[in-house]
Structure 1
Amino acid sequence: MKTVILKKQKDKLARNRNPWVFSGSVHSAESGIRNGEAVRVVDADKKFVAYGFYSEHSAITLRLFSWNEDEQARQSLFTARLQAALSARKRLINSEQTDSFRLLYGEADGLPGYVADYYNGHIGLQVNTASAVLYLPFMTEALKAVVNPVSIYARPADELNKKEKVFFQEACIYGDAPERILIKENGLKISANPVSGQKTGYYFDQRDNRKAVAQYAAGSDVLDCFCYTGGFSLNCAAAGAKSITSVDSSADALKNLEENFDLNGLQKPETVKADVFEYLRQRNTDSRKHDLVILDPPKLAKSQSAMEQALRAYKDINMLGLKKTEKNGIFVTFSCSGRVSREDFIKSVAWAAKDAGRTLRITGFMSQAGDHPISPFFPESEYLKGIIGVVE
Structure 2
Amino acid sequence: DSTAYRVVHAEGDALPSLVVDRYGDLIVAQLLSAGLEAVRADVLEAIHDVLRPSAVLLRNDTSVRRHEGLPLEITAAAGSPPDEIDVREGTVRFGVRPREGQKTGAFLDQRDNRLLMGAVATGRCLDVFTYHGLFAIHMSARGQSVQAVDSSSAALAVARTNADRNPAGSSIHWVEANAFDHLRRLEQTGEQFDTVVLDPPAFAKARGSVERALRGYKEINLRAMRLLAPGGLLLTCSCSYHVSRERFTTMLADAAADSRRRLGVVRYVGQAPDHPELLTVPETGYLKGVLLRSLE
Aligned mates of 2:83, 2:200 — CA distance in 1: 25
* C-alpha contact (below 8 Å) 2:66/2:72 kept by paired residues: no
1:292 aligns with 2:204: no
Normalised to the residue count of structure 2, the TM-score between the two structures is: 0.94
1:106-140 alpha-carbon deviations (Å, 9 max, x no partner): 01111111211100010112233333333322221
- The amino acid across from 1:136 in the alignment is R
Aligned mates of 2:143, 2:29 — CA distance in 1: 35
Q: Of the candidates 107, 113, 118, which is equivalent to residue 209 of structure 1?
A: 113
Aligned mates of 2:89, 2:215 — CA distance in 1: 34
Residue number in structure 2 paired with 1:249: 151
Name stretches of at least 5 consecutive residues in structure 2 with no aligned partner.
Answer: none
Q: Quote how far apart the aligned CAs of 1:328 are.
A: 2.0
* C-alpha contact (below 8 Å) 2:9/2:20 kept by paired residues: yes
Q: Quote how far apart the aligned CAs of 1:157 are.
A: 5.1
Residue number in structure 2 paired with 1:191: 95
Q: Of the candidates 201, 222, 226, which is equivalent to residue 319 of structure 1?
A: 222
Residue number in structure 2 paired with 1:14: none
Normalised to the residue count of structure 1, the TM-score between the two structures is: 0.72
1:286-333 alpha-carbon deviations (Å, 9 max, x no partner): 111111110001111111112111111111121121122112211110
Aligned mates of 2:40, 2:171 — CA distance in 1: 42
Name stretches of at least 5 consecutive residues in structure 1 with no aligned partner.
Answer: 1-96
What SS does structure 1 have at the residue aligned with 2:21? strand
Residue number in structure 2 paired with 1:349: 252
Residue number in structure 2 paired with 1:176: 80
- The amino acid across from 1:366 in the alignment is V
Residue number in structure 2 paired with 1:259: 161
What SS does structure 2 have at the residue aligned with 1:227? coil
Deviates more, 1:100-109 or 1:150-159: 150-159
Aligned mates of 1:186, 1:335 — CA distance in 2: 23
- The amino acid across from 1:357 in the alignment is R
Residue number in structure 2 paired with 1:310: 213
Aligned mates of 1:159, 1:349 — CA distance in 2: 31
Q: Quote how far apart the aligned CAs of 1:214 are.
A: 2.2
Q: Of the candidates 22, 35, 40, which is equivalent to residue 131 of structure 1?
A: 35
Q: Quote how far apart the aligned CAs of 1:216 are.
A: 2.4
What SS does structure 2 have at the residue aligned with 1:215? helix
Q: Quote how far apart the aligned CAs of 1:161 are.
A: 4.7
* C-alpha contact (below 8 Å) 1:160/1:167 kept by paired residues: no
Aligned mates of 1:133, 1:282 — CA distance in 2: 49
Aligned mates of 1:133, 1:277 — CA distance in 2: 41
Q: How does 1:39-188 map to 2 (within 5 A)?
A: 97-156=1-60, 158-188=62-92
Residue number in structure 1 paired with 2:237: 334
- The amino acid across from 2:192 in the alignment is K
* C-alpha contact (below 8 Å) 2:112/2:272 kept by paired residues: yes
1:46-102 alpha-carbon deviations (Å, 9 max, x no partner): xxxxxxxxxxxxxxxxxxxxxxxxxxxxxxxxxxxxxxxxxxxxxxxxxxx312201
Count of residue correspondences: 294
Q: Which has the higher helix share?
A: 2
State the 4+ residue runs in structure 1 displaced beyond 3 angstroms: none
Q: Quote how far apart the aligned CAs of 1:104 are.
A: 0.8
Residue number in structure 2 paired with 1:221: 124
Q: Quote how far apart the aligned CAs of 1:271 are.
A: 0.3
- The amino acid across from 1:253 in the alignment is A
Aligned mates of 2:215, 2:249 — CA distance in 1: 13
Residue number in structure 2 paired with 1:384: 287
1:147–1:120 Cα change, 3 Å: same
* C-alpha contact (below 8 Å) 1:225/1:297 kept by paired residues: yes
**Could you say which structure has the greater relative contact order, defined with CA pairs below 8 angstroms and 6 or more residues apart?**
2
Q: Of the candidates 132, 138, 147, which is equivalent to residue 235 of structure 1?
A: 138
Q: Quote how far apart the aligned CAs of 1:370 are.
A: 0.9
Q: Of the candidates 367, 374, 377, which is equivalent to residue 270 of structure 2?
A: 367
* C-alpha contact (below 8 Å) 1:261/1:268 kept by paired residues: no
Aligned mates of 2:279, 2:192 — CA distance in 1: 41
Task: Tell which structure's C-alpha radius of gyration is larger.
Answer: 1
What SS does structure 2 have at the residue aligned with 1:166? coil
- The amino acid across from 1:246 in the alignment is A
In angstroms, what is the RMSD of aligned CA positions? 1.6
What SS does structure 2 have at the residue aligned with 1:189? strand
Q: Quote how far apart the aligned CAs of 1:250 are.
A: 2.0
